[in-house]
């Protein structure tokens, strides 16, 4: 499975059931590769805590598991470490740093230690900026925006895609929230991928 093909489908979000089997298998493989003990490939503990807090705001636990309990943070860590290009990785990590900088500027504390209301305020601001970027792209002359359907480089858009994909391709997210089977048959993370896997920067 080509890295570009997999990353292209990150933008599908709630349309995950329509993904080709090979793409779903690639995301499933990430989930099933997570060990019983949480581990990180690229995030620092501080970055990981910010990812957990942000993703849990997007998908909190209700009567079904939320982003935190389905280990979406570790899924995102694997994508950023193994599938993102260096440029994409730097952009994502800079976006995480900006979340903390906003929180420090507004509330004199990092995002993780801000109150739930303060965290929600920052998340809403990020969402509004993403919506504005989408509107600007839609209003731009066709030759300027090319074939892009989404604004390139927007951190919140990247994070939202990763969180939705990580959650809805987990066993709990897909079977409990979407009430679907990931591939007809039981949830089995040992489905072989069409190729050897990702290579950085390709």
What residue ranges do the domains of the chain occupy?
3-13+20-177
Q: Answer for the pair 27, 76: CB distance below 8 angstroms, yes or no.
A: no
Percent helix, strand and coil across the chain, each to the nearest 5: 65, 0, 35
Q: What global pTM score does this model have?
A: 0.74
Q: Answer for the pair 79, 88: CB distance below 8 angstroms, yes or no.
A: no
Residue 11, SS3? helix
Q: To 10 degrees, what angle do helices 86-107 and 155-168 make?
A: 110
Q: Is the pLDDT of residue 106 over 70?
A: yes
What is the mean predicted confidence (pLDDT) over 67-92? Answer: 93
Q: Which pLDDT tens digit goes with each residue over 9-46?
A: 554 444 455 566 677 777 878 888 887 778 899 999 99
CA atoms within a 13 Å half-sphere pointing along the CA-CB vector of 52: 16
**Could you tell me which residue, 80 or 195, shows the higher pLDDT?**
80
Q: Answer for the pair 19, 172: CB distance below 8 angstroms, yes or no.
A: no
């Amino acid at each position: 499975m080509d890295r570009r093909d997999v990353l292209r489908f990150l933008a599908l979000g709630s349309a995950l059931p329509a993904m080709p089997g090979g793409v779903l298998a690639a995301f499933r493989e990430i989930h099933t590769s997570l060990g019983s003990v949480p581990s990180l490939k690229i995030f620092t503990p501080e970055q990981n805590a910010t990812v957990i807090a942000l993703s849990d705001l997007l998908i909190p636990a209700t009567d079904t598991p939320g982003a935190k309990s389905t280990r979406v943070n570790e899924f995102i860590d694997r994508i950023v470490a193994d599938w993102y290009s260096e440029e994409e990785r730097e952009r994502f990590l800079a976006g995480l740093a900006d979340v903390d900088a906003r929180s420090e500027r507004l509330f004199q504390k990092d995002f993780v230690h801000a109150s739930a209301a303060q965290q929600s305020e920052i998340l809403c601001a990020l969402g509004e900026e993403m919506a504005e970027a989408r509107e600007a792209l839609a209003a731009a002359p066709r030759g300027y925006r090319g074939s892009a359907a989404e604004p390139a480089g927007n951190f919140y858009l990247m994070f939202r895609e990763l969180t939705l994909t990580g959650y809805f391709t987990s066993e709990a997210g897909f079977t409990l929230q979407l009430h679907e089977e990931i591939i007809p048959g039981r949830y089995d993370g040992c489905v072989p991928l069409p190729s050897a896997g990702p290579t950085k920067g390709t």
